[in-house]
Amino acid sequence: MVGRRKYDEGCAVSHALDLIGERWALLVVRELLLGPKRFTDLRAGIPGASPDVLANRLRELTDAGVVRQRKLPPPAGSQVYELTDWGAELEPVVTQLGRWGSRSPSLPNDAHTSIDSLLLSLRSLFDPRAASGFSATITLHVEGRPFHVEINDGEFRLAGGEANHPAATLGTDRETLAALLHGGRRLDDALHAGEATIIGSTEVVARLLELFPLPEPAGAH
């Protein structure tokens, strides 16, 4: 981290910012919370970061012990980046930061959002009261990438990959999913337009989409 401006305080908060406070660093963490990625996948999720800047952030996060690099076994054989166990402990920090930011009156809702960012927002916005008495496992295919959610009477779990025996599988793209969640897009309309597909229970998917209300914007004081 030679050449970087650091706080150099004994405070743990300032030290944490020395490690992950550089621009784009926490977004790299965000993009890795749902599993390892190749450099090109990270570039797609954080298009605002140039290749050189992204490479620098990855190097710094690796030096700090937050990220590590490994080679996937054959036949893939790709080099991927993933969070260390310690780096993965940032998940609740990212979740709460996302919930805090979602209350900003100036949040640019029409700006770019990566698939991982949209899916992780489900953790931030999940309303356990709305899910009371509801239990289901649902697979989400977002632009070909599989994820699954498990809801069990007020508890929520999100992970990458397919679910075993889901009650429903929703296939769609990032923009349509965002519109279904928060843009007022009706599920029936998206299905009829071919913008979404469902295998299994449509009712389960409809209930799922109701569990992530946007919080009230923070008032100016």
pLDDT 10s digits, 107-127:
887 888 899 999 999 999 999
Q: Which amino acid is at 3?
A: G
Q: Which CATH number belongs to the domain containing residue 193 in this structure?
A: 3.30.1050.10
Using DSSP, state whether 53 is helix, strand or coil.
Answer: helix
Report the residue count for the chain: 221
Output DSSP code: residue 187: H
Within 8 A by CB and 6+ apart from 42, the residues are 28, 31, 32, 54, 58, 81
Domain limits for position 77: 12-102
Q: Which CATH number belongs to the domain containing residue 69 in this structure?
A: 1.10.10.10
CB 72 within 8 Å of CB 78: yes
- pLDDT for 45 equals 95
Angle CA 62–64–69, to nearest 5: 15
Tell me which residue has tokens 């779990």. 157
Into how many domains does the chain fold?
Answer: 2
Residues 151 and 70 both lie in one domain: no
CA dist., res. 98 & res. 27, Å (int): 11
The last residue of a domain, from among 79, 102, 125: 102
pLDDT 10s digits, 78-118:
899 999 999 999 999 999 999 999 999 998 878 888 999 99
Residues 89 and 134 both lie in one domain: no
CA dist., res. 20 & res. 40, Å (int): 21
pLDDT 10s digits, 26-69:
999 999 999 999 999 999 999 999 999 999 999 999 999 999 99
67 part of a folded domain: yes
Residues 123 and 95 both lie in one domain: no
Within 8 A by CB and 6+ apart from 38, the residues are 78, 79, 80, 81
Residues 133 and 80 both lie in one domain: no
The last residue of a domain, from among 102, 130, 152: 102
Using DSSP, state whether 5 is helix, strand or coil.
Answer: coil
Residues 81 and 26 both lie in one domain: yes
Output DSSP code: residue 195: S
Output DSSP code: residue 21: -
